[in-house]
Amino acid sequence: MNYEKVHTEYRVYSIEGRYVNLGLLESFLNLLNATVKVDVSGYSVQGRPIYKCQMGRGDTKILIWSQMHGNESTTTKGLIDFINFLQSGTDKANQILSEYTFVVFPMLNPDGSEVYTRVNANEIDLNRDFQELTQPESKLLMDCHNAFKPDYCYNLHDQRTVFGVGLTGKPATMSFLAPSFNEEKEYNDSRIKAVVAIMKMVKSLQHFIPGQISRFDDSFNSNCVGDQFQSLGTSTVLIEAGHYPNDYEREETRKYVFIALLSVFYSSSENVVVDCVLSDYLNIPQNIPNYYDIVYKNVRVNYDNSDLITNFALQFREQLVNNKVVFNAFVAKVGNFHDFSGHIEYDAKQALYSDSRSNFPILDEKADFSLNNKLKFVNGLVKN
């Protein structure tokens, strides 16, 4: 299958950018045909509807949710594209619908999505609420899991730009995890099934983003939804959408989310050798926080009346302004950091640093500065 061509055809172009709120989701849901049954499954803390989409008639039951964290919208976009494909009436879509029954929550945290925050309106991280179940959004998902009794769960998230693929120097564009079900991080049949599903996705994605796929940390935390569902015997897959070069809007990464979902449900169910697939999975490099957004090397600074050559790094902070996410660069680290890379790297060639406050970059300060008092940088980038 030509996955890129299929995505181009069924991508929902009316929904783009990092800010995806309930209004945008509803604009898509209102256009769905009878293939997808849409219901309000419950309500958020602030009374916003939480929509459930059901489609398919197959024996294998799949539960998927996205935007559990309100500021993690990339997987929502890829999931919307996938739903759009499933309602297409094509032979490929009908084949998937004949084999699977899907229950999908495209936006589990509409309150957080509205204001672009990780937490819900009670400032609770929903992904740390699956022991006590204190929040209506958490209870809704758990109640659905218990009633639907899915064979597989797919837990969709975004991850920050700080993550790289091991020590390879490449960004972690897509990361996966078959969560642990106990402190010992053992593998039972349920977890192995999740591993098999992940390797189907990885096999397809390697053609598009070779070397940019990592494995998320599998430390057990019973408060997390994935670990909780895995411990209940449901094969659970974590998908983390990360950074692709020069793609801060995550429009390229959404394509890889779509390809991951389409490939895992369209691929054949051939027999697999468990030892082999587990070995392949464990050989995926782990996610490591070893990236900054921008790194400046060989910068001359004046510190304690002495000239020094150093490096410094910036990290973008995301802020919602007029329904658009803007990226503001702040100084995150100063000094030597050989094990870190920058998504953008700039060799200052010993040019002298200066800003309106000092001749030395200060941690947590906004990145507006000059080199040699000539080349001006605004928000970390060269001013034209």
pLDDT per residue as tens digits for the range 215-234: 999 999 999 999 999 999 99
| Mean pLDDT value across the chain | 96
Whether residue 148 contacts residue 185, with contact meaning beta carbons closer than 8 Å, is answered with no
Q: Name the pLDDT band for 273 (thresholds 50, 70, 90).
A: low
CATH 3.40.630.10 placement within the chain: 3-289
pLDDT in tens, 91-150: 999 999 999 999 999 999 999 999 999 999 999 999 999 999 999 999 999 999 999 999
Please give the full DSSP string across 269-318, using - where no structure is assigned: -----HHHHHHHHHTSPBEEE-EEEEEEEEEEEEETTEEEEEEEEEEEEE
Closest to 157 measured CA to CA, from 125, 191, 114, 180: 125
Residue 275 has pLDDT above 80, yes or no: no
The reported pLDDT for the residue numbered 337 is 84
Reported as half-sphere exposure (CB side, CA atoms, 13 A), residue 140 has a value of 22
| pTM of the predicted structure, to 2 decimals | 0.96
Residue 339 confidence (pLDDT): 85
CA–CA dist 313, 367 (Å, integer): 10
Percent of the chain residues past pLDDT 70, beyond the cut: 98
Which part of the chain is CATH 2.30.40.10?
291-382
Q: What is the CATH number that goes with domain 3-289?
A: 3.40.630.10
State yes or no: pLDDT of 84 exceeds 70: yes
Which residues, at least 6 apart from 27, have a Cβ–Cβ distance to it below 8 Å?
A: 14, 15
Question: Which one-letter amino acid corresponds to residue 176?
Answer: F
Instruction: Report the CATH fold assignment for 291-382.
Output: Urease, subunit C; domain 1 (2.30.40)
Q: Per-residue pLDDT tens for 15-68?
A: 999 999 999 999 999 999 999 999 999 999 999 999 999 999 999 999 999 999
